[in-house]
Each structure stands twice: as structure tokens, then as C-alpha cells.
Amino acid sequence: MPSLRFDPEEILETVKMVQMENLDIRTITMGISLRDCAHPSLAAAARKAYDKICRTARALVATGDALEREYGIPIINRRISVTPIALVAESCEADDYVLMAEQLDRAAAEVGVNFIGGFSALVHKGCTPGDTRLIDSIPRALATTERVCASVNVASTKAGINMDAVARMGEVIRECAGLTRDRGGLACAKLVVFCNAVEDNPFMAGAFHGIGEPDCVLNVGVSGPGAVLSAVQRAPGADFGELASIIKRTAFKITRMGELIGRRASERLGVPFGIVDLSLAPTPAKGDSVARILESMGLERVGAHGSTAALALLNDAVKKGGAMASSHVGGLSGAFIPVSEDIGMIEAAAAQALSFDKLEAMTCVCSVGLDMVAIPGDTPAATLAAIIADEAAIGMINRKTTAVRVIPVPGKGVGEWVEFGGLLGRAPVIPVNRHDCSVFVRRGGRIPAPLQALNN
Amino acid sequence: MAESSNRVIVTVVGHDRTGIIAETSRVLADAGVNIVDISQTLMGEFFVMIMMADLAGATLSLEQLKARLAAKGTELGMRIDVQHEDVFKFMHRV
């Protein structure tokens, strides 16, 4: 008789992770190249994009549903990323690309995904006319569609920071907020400004299908802050070395689930498996908070001194544990610290334990950047641009991805709340520095790339 | 990687009482599911039974089987979960 081959402890650990600790696959994201959809007519290009997405992703949602049932692991989101639209639409004779966004939105609805990313431009060295048209189209594109996400890469370690684009993105964020004033500035929650954007990120709102990617690929984003939290809580007396080991072991197990689902999904869809992004992605649900992990290490509230060190340990241990669990690790991989999507972060912001400046410091060691932070609605475009510049500088110098997704909530001031609902959550408006930086932002040009020991 | 198998792991957790194995086995037998192995243990105050079962000849889908076992669990005052063997293989074996 074959044996069970697993210890009861192992079996119960897995059951507990899934049933009680919210272990889930956060997203299976299909990357689709739209490079073959270019056409002089925007309507024709948008039609081709619509057709290709519907054709390629038609089985994505059903496959995700079937895997979820068979393996008993929740798969929260099915999503699509596409080639940066600035590239696809560049040769269209059109003044703006809103029509393309509308067709992407329709395609996403048609195949049943909740977000489609890639209304994007990569402008870290400068803008082509297509890039400029895309950036100008972002506010209307995001205000008139439901599922489309936009991103703009304004800096990289190798190219430096395109400060003209940074200044423009400050204005774009304000326009986005203004056009969705009745929804708390919701369009801003669908716009990410990057430094060192990655080409295979499966997480929204910053996902796009990079130009080095194949025609179609499947990327998986795992999650599981709850499982890590519970492992950390079980070891109250552990020193930091032990703590890192505990997190590594848990991250390994979580990532294995991503690898399993990713492989199976790619087999069934007949699409190459790209990467597992081993991120701890919080949700507003109880027990699904990254902040709580940091607090369980011994901080009264996230935002207290020590938070950056705690996050550094967590982020690194997650990467180390996950790296061996998957044949291809990619994306952003680490711990996300969105404010409105994490109950611990929301509470800390409301209790004024977590300041904007501390968040910025924490982004030096987290997987991405300033994420889902609600700030006063009257924050000037120049201040928004300077926030982006600071964040891009952190990414550029530290050779990591950083990003800004902030919401200047129209008509609201410090201490008031904004409610986005669902996974986007809710957050109190927190103060930003009010001193003027417009002269700095207006200088224009590029901040040169840092020296990197002349390595090529 | 090896082909995906038809085996699942059934876990039953709760306070011990008579008839747990009989009742759970009956649901599986009625569904044409073959029990490959079974083990039980006490973990703290909880009774834990773990079964490996083969769905090759099953007359129910995994989803239907899960629903039946969950309902049986409620009836017995136990928690019954079913998960594909691959989940454990991936998580605990490199």
C-alpha cells in the first residue's frame, strides 16, 4: 500500500495556510503582445487589439476558475497586460489614444478580467510624439474606462531621470483626480509612475507586457501575508536570524503554490510560463496585512522607528525564500506597502503613526514604492512632480524599481477619508510637505544617471 | 514534471466521536472514490484524520465531492477539507 508520503503536520500546515491564513494566488496575468496591431488608423489598430485580446485570452478566466476548484487554492484575480500602447499606437494618425483605451476596456470586459494594464509609455530618456500623445490621453482614458490601468516609466538607473516627464506627470495626476472628482480621484489609483519598471510584472496597476517578452506569456503573482504573519507570531522569542529563516521557509511554501498554479495554467492555456512574482500583496481584509507582520516583529505601530529595518528584513527574506521555489522568479518580488489596501497601514496612518516621509523611507527597502497614498486634494502639480522625482531618485541610485501611485483626493484635506471600495480599499488623507518646490521642478532636462563602476 | 495525478488528500479535523471514519468513508465509497491510505492522530485536543484517495473511478467531480464532504463535516461537527495531492507535493517536496 502506498504511504501518505506526507507527515500529518505538513498536511495540516498546508490546509491551515489556505483555510485560515488567506494563502492565495493573487493574480494570474496573461501578457499579450500588441506589436502586430499597429495601423495608420487608430480605429483599425484598436479593433485589431480588441480582437487579439479576445482571441488570446478567451480561456483565461475559465482556466483560472477550474484550477481554483481543482487545487482548492483561491486565485483572486485574472488579469491582462499588453504592450505599452504608446508603441502600438505611435504610427496612428490620431491626436489622442482614448479610443484605444476604450477598446482595451471592452476587451477586458468581454474576457472577464477586472484589470488590463499597459496604457503605458517608457520615457526615461525622452518622449516620442506617440509617448506625448499617450501621456496626454491618460486622464481621459482612465476617467472614461473602468478596467484600464496606465503606467509611465520616467527614470532608470541607466538613463537617469527625465525631469520633463516627471513635471508633466505631476500635472497628469492632478488632471486624473479632477476628472474623477466624484469618485475620490479614482483615476489616480489606476496610474503608476515608475523608475526602473519591470517588463513582466503581473500586479496592477503597473503591469505591462514588455518589449522583450514573447507574443503571449503567463505570469503569476503570489501573496500570503497572513501565512507569514502567523509564522512570525508563532516565534515571539526568535532573534533576527531565526526570524529571517522562518519567513524564508514560509515564502518558499507560498511561492511553490504560485509555481504549481502557473505551470498548470500555462499547460492548459498552451501559453509559455513566464515568471512567479513572489510578492506579499496585502488586501484590506483582516489577516492579510503586511503592516501586521512588521508590527508582530515588535513594533507598536507600523511607522514607528524600526519599521524600515523590519521591512528590509521581510523583503529580503521573502526574496531569498521564494527564489529557490520557482524556476523563474521575476516581476517586483518583495513586500508591497500600499496604504489604502492594508488594514494595518490604514490604522497607522489614521493614528498618525505613519507619516509620508516614513513611507518614503520604507520604499527604499520595499518592493516598489509610494503606493495608494491619499494626500490633500490641493497638493500642487509641482509637489506631486517632486514626490515622483524623490522616489525615482531612490530607485535610480539603489538600482531597484520604485513607483508613485498617490491620490490627491479632490476637495479633501488632512484627516478626511477616501473610499475606493473593493481591493483598492480606503485611506485617510495624510499631510505632505507644503513648502514650494516648483522652481526646482521647472528646471527641466534630465538628472544624469549615476556612475556604476563602469561595468559595461 | 510528473503528470498530474488523480489523488486528493482529505483532512478531517475536530473533536473525536464515533463513526467519523465510517461516515467519511461512506461518502467516498458512494462517489466511487478509492481510499488509498488512511492515518489518524491526535494533535493537542483535536482528532485529525488524513486520507489519501484516488478519484480515477469517481462518479463525482472534485467540486461535487468537496461539497458533499463539507456537508458531512457540518453534520458531524467536524471540518472536512479536500485538496489535490499536487498542492502538498509542491509545498513540501523539492
**Residues on chain B touching A3 (C-beta within 8 angstroms):** 37
pLDDT at A80: 97
**CB-based contact B91 A72, cutoff 8 Å:** no
Radius of gyration of chain A (CA): 21
Instruction: Name the residue in chain B with its Cα closest to that of A10.
Output: B92
User: Can you name the residues that pair with A177 across neighbouring β-strands?
Assistant: none
pLDDT at A386: 98
One DSSP character per residue, A203-256 reads SSSS----TTS-SEEEEEEE--HHHHHHHHHT-TT--HHHHHHHHHHHHHHHHH
**CB-based contact B9 A260, cutoff 8 Å:** no
Of B9, B79, B90, the CB nearest to A256: B90
Q: Is A337 a residue whose pLDDT tops 70?
A: yes
A319 CB neighbour count, 10 Å cutoff: 19
Percent of chain A exceeding pLDDT 70 equals: 98
Structural element, H or E, at residue A15 = helix A8-19
Interface of chain A toward chain B, CB-CB under 8 angstroms: 1-4, 6, 8, 10-12, 14-15, 18-19, 69-73, 253, 256-257, 259-260, 263-264, 324
Interface of chain B toward chain A, CB-CB under 8 angstroms: 1, 4, 9, 11, 13, 36-37, 39, 41, 43, 48, 50, 52, 62-63, 66, 79, 81-84, 86-88, 90-92, 94
Distance CA A133, CA A127 (A): 9
Q: Is B44 a residue whose pLDDT tops 80?
A: no
**Each residue of A8-45: b (16+ CB within 10 Å) or e?**
bebbbbbbbbbeebbbbbbbbbbbbbbeebbbeebeeb
Residue A183 near residue A168, CB atoms below 8 Å: no
User: Can you name the residues that pair with B12 across neighbouring β-strands?
Assistant: B49, B80
| pLDDT (mean) for A322-338 | 87
pLDDT at A456: 63
Q: Is B58 a residue whose pLDDT tops 60?
A: yes
pLDDT at A20: 74
Residue B16 near residue B77, CB atoms below 8 Å: no
First CA to last CA across chain B, in angstroms?
Answer: 12
**CB-based contact B87 A71, cutoff 8 Å:** yes
| pLDDT (mean) for A314-322 | 92
Task: Mention every residue, 6+ apart, whose C-beta is less than 8 A from residue A178.
Answer: A139, A410
Predicted confidence band at A107 (pLDDT cuts at 50, 70, 90)? very high
The secondary structure of chain B in percent helix, strand, coil, rounded to multiples of 5, reads 35, 35, 30
Between A321 and A1, name the one with better pLDDT.
A321
Percent of chain A exceeding pLDDT 90 equals: 81
CATH number of B7-92: 3.30.70.260
User: Can you name the residues that pair with B39 across neighbouring β-strands?
Assistant: B50
Predicted confidence band at A2 (pLDDT cuts at 50, 70, 90)? very low
Residue B60 near residue B68, CB atoms below 8 Å: yes
Residue A421 phi/psi, 5° resolution?
A: 80, 160
pLDDT at A3: 54
Q: What is the pTM of this model?
A: 0.90
pLDDT at A412: 96
Nearest CA-CA distance, residue A318 and chain B, Å: 15
- Average per-residue pLDDT for chain A: 93
pLDDT at A154: 98
Between A60 and B89, name the one with better pLDDT.
A60
Between A352 and A15, name the one with better pLDDT.
A352
First CA to last CA across chain A, in angstroms?
Answer: 60
Nearest-5° Cα angle at A417, A411 to A420: 95
In this structure, what C-alpha cell is assigned to residue A139? 486622464
pLDDT at B2: 45
Distance CA B51, CA B49 (A): 7
Among A11-25, A87-101, A243-257, B37-51, which range has the highest average pLDDT? A87-101
Predicted confidence band at A435 (pLDDT cuts at 50, 70, 90)? very high
Nearest CA-CA distance, residue B36 and chain A, Å: 7
pLDDT at A223: 83
Rounded (10°) CA dihedral B24, B29, B34, B40: 20
**CB-based contact B43 A324, cutoff 8 Å:** no
Over residues A30-85, the pLDDT tens digits come to 999 999 999 999 999 999 999 999 999 999 999 999 998 888 888 999 999 999 99
pLDDT at A455: 67
Q: How many CB pairs under 8 A join A and B?
A: 71
Distance CA A174, CA A180 (A): 10
pLDDT at A387: 98
Over residues A125-166, the pLDDT tens digits come to 999 999 999 999 999 999 999 999 999 999 999 999 999 999
Task: Give the residue from A315, A333, A310, A447 showing the smallest Cα distance to A391.
Answer: A447
A63 CB neighbour count, 10 Å cutoff: 23
Residue B54 near residue B33, CB atoms below 8 Å: yes
pLDDT at B4: 61
In the block, cell 498618525 appears at: A352
Question: What residue ranges define each of the domains in chain A, with the CATH number in brackets?
Answer: 220-443 (3.20.70.20)
pLDDT at A70: 83
Predicted confidence band at A284 (pLDDT cuts at 50, 70, 90)? confident
Task: Mention every residue, 6+ apart, whose C-beta is less than 8 A from residue A325.
Answer: A251, A252, A253, A254, A255, A256, A258, A259, A276, A278
Predicted confidence band at B69 (pLDDT cuts at 50, 70, 90)? very high
In this structure, what C-alpha cell is assigned to residue A108? 477586458
| pLDDT (mean) for A260-275 | 93
| pLDDT (mean) for B83-87 | 89
Of B11, B63, B90, the CB nearest to A260: B90
Q: How far is CA A288 from the centre of its chain?
A: 16
Task: Give the residue from A118, A61, A43 showing the smallest Cα distance to A87.
Answer: A118
A285 CB neighbour count, 10 Å cutoff: 15
Nearest-5° Cα angle at B86, A322 to A69: 100
Q: How far is CA A304 from the centre of its chain?
A: 25
> Which value does ipTM take for this structure?
0.80
